[in-house]
Structure 1
């Protein structure tokens, strides 16, 4: 008599070891989102602090402090965005496992239903053949579910790796670095756990299936190919999410900043593309020769926004932007000079040549009019 329990055992083993995929309260994704919330609070405190300092004092020292503080703000915003995106990836990974578990449960129940229907014929060669064929078919379906979930988890693992920042040679804030490591560890640990679970249960299932079918004298299953256990693809996705409604830009220093809109983002990209252009008074041509107001007029012209030609007339946009609220594309305007904020505590301007430097409000004794957002 065929050992029905032995044939069904691989499916039971798979179902019991697969896991539910349910991430309870206080799990990895909640921890990541909590960290991002804390970083957002730090960002708001920093913004208020920058504005307060610039209201009380001015000068070179305040400019240097503001530039450094804005770089920390960029770091905080990036970590917050990454934490929220990691949480989404972790939740999606758990959802893949949960879906797979439900499918496996359905496969087991389907096999039991078939066995029940074939019960009257189990004492005949035809009945035994039908039961073994059903077992092979259902085990193959189970292997397919495991293989698909492994592929899905490989994609989520790559996404987590893509969201993990490379170590910085210039630490901006110890707490921010700790948050990065915590977020990465929380996300990666969960993904590696569910991935290793899928791999181990696949091996256990294959072994049990082979033993059960061989002991029954039935032919080995030949349909389908079990998924391999090789390393997943290292191709990584990029962060597409945003904490606001702006447009992400990657600066030459590798930092990711967010412009308020597409026009500002286009202007920043255009201005940065002119870096290295020599200074020519009255010049308008990137790569050949350009002056300060020519650079900003050109960059915003590429975005479809018309600016006056003279630097001191480019203080458009209302109201004036506070230092703590600066975004890429904002203009720093003096009586006789203008530069464009690119983010991460930096601005691009036409010197000799066009270059990127730290944000400042001092410029050869000129009167500083303030920061303005042409697209507001």
Structure 2
């Protein structure tokens, strides 16, 4: 008599390699989402702190402190978004494992049913042949499920890898540590006894999170008061408002940081202005790559986005006026009585000097009167 348990054992082995795929309350994805929520709270506190700082004081020391705080804001927004995206990847991976387990359960049940039907003939060569054939067919189906899930998990691993790049600023080491702690239990949580099935994904998550601790630091300066005595606005342009609501447009800056403009027009203007970096200064110039002046640069950049601006720098204070330090976003304009520059995010602006270049946000410019920050797309 053939050993039927030996025939079905390969299917049980495949099934045991999956575990349940059920994360449960407080699992990896919940931890990632909780950390992201905490980071959003940190971002809001930072926004209030920047506003308070610029309300109480001004000068170069405050400029430097504000610029550094703006870079921290960029980091917190980046880490928050990344944690939420990682949680979605983990959830999808778990769903793939759960589906695979259910499919294998069904294959095992199908084989058991087939054996039951063939039991009256198991004492005959034909019956034994039918059972062995059925076993081979069901094992093939099981291997097909394993291959499918491996392919699905490789897709999730690639998605996790895409989340690996570190933010552009240091700080938030505690948040990195918290995210890494969450990742450490991912493989065992998802795979149960089958750690190898999700080992690649868990390893990628760990490296993606730990990489955030090796980011770059930056310093710069910004902030004074405008002609009316009110504190003028400053912010790194993380797009916190847009980022929180999911309505912003992401931009990758030359320094590698990712920020969010409030809308597609502002995003287009920022990209267009950055594309003109290196253009020599020519008074009255309007041509990127050939020659351009400060208001020519901003007028050109917003023109590419379908937004018309006045030609003179001091007249480009249009749209939403006096954006506060915690609310400044990419595409906002810094306007003086004879100069204009565009905020691009992460504590930086682009402007037509000689040549067009990127520098730290500031509110002082050769003794000119600073009118404030404006958002042409409001």
Q: TM-score, normalised by structure 1?
A: 0.84
Aligned partners of 1:247 and 1:259 also within 8 Å: yes
Q: Which residue of 2 aligns with 1:190?
A: 186
Q: Structure 1: which 5+ residue stretches go unaligned?
A: 203-230
Cα deviation code 1:99-137 (max 9, x no counterpart):
000000000001011111111111111111110000000
Q: CA deviation at 1:193?
A: 7.2
Q: Secondary structure at the match of 2:89?
A: helix
Q: Does 1:112 align with 2:112?
A: yes
User: Quick one: which of 247, 266, 269 aligns to 1:267?
Assistant: 269
Q: Structure 2: which 5+ residue stretches go unaligned?
A: 209-241
Q: Does 1:172 align with 2:174?
A: no
CA RMSD of aligned residues (A): 2.4
Q: CA deviation at 1:11?
A: 1.4
Q: Relative to 1, partners in 2 of residues 1:178 and 1:201: Cα closer, same or farther, differing over 3 Å?
A: closer
Q: Which residue of 1 aligns with 2:323?
A: 321
Larger radius of gyration: 1
Q: Secondary structure at the match of 2:24?
A: coil
Q: Which residue of 1 aligns with 2:253?
A: 251
Q: Does 1:308 align with 2:294?
A: no
Q: Relative to 1, partners in 2 of residues 1:245 and 1:54: Cα closer, same or farther, differing over 3 Å?
A: same
Q: Which residue of 2 aligns with 1:216?
A: none
Q: Which residue of 2 aligns with 1:87?
A: 87
Cα deviation code 1:176-232 (max 9, x no counterpart):
234235435634752587579658589xxxxxxxxxxxxxxxxxxxxxxxxxxxx99
Q: Which residue of 1 aligns with 2:29?
A: 29
Aligned partners of 2:188 and 2:195 also within 8 Å: no
Cα deviation code 1:323-376 (max 9, x no counterpart):
210110000111111100000000000111111000111111111111111001
Aligned partners of 2:21 and 2:94 also within 8 Å: yes
Aligned partners of 1:160 and 1:187 also within 8 Å: no
2:93 and 2:39 mapped to 1: Cα distance? 24
Q: CA deviation at 1:172?
A: 2.8
Q: Secondary structure at the match of 1:18?
A: coil
1:104 and 1:177 mapped to 2: Cα distance? 42
Q: CA deviation at 1:242?
A: 5.5
Q: Which moved more, 1:358-367 or 1:59-68?
A: 59-68
4+ aligned runs moved over 3 Å, structure 1: 184-189, 191-202
Q: Relative to 1, partners in 2 of residues 1:72 and 1:201: Cα closer, same or farther, differing over 3 Å?
A: closer
Aligned partners of 2:334 and 2:341 also within 8 Å: yes
Q: Which moved more, 1:350-359 or 1:155-164?
A: 155-164
Aligned partners of 1:284 and 1:294 also within 8 Å: yes
Q: Which residue of 2 aligns with 1:129?
A: 129
Q: Secondary structure at the match of 1:371?
A: strand
Q: CA deviation at 1:14?
A: 2.4
1:167 and 1:45 mapped to 2: Cα distance? 20
Q: TM-score, normalised by structure 2?
A: 0.84
Q: Which moved more, 1:286-295 or 1:58-67?
A: 58-67
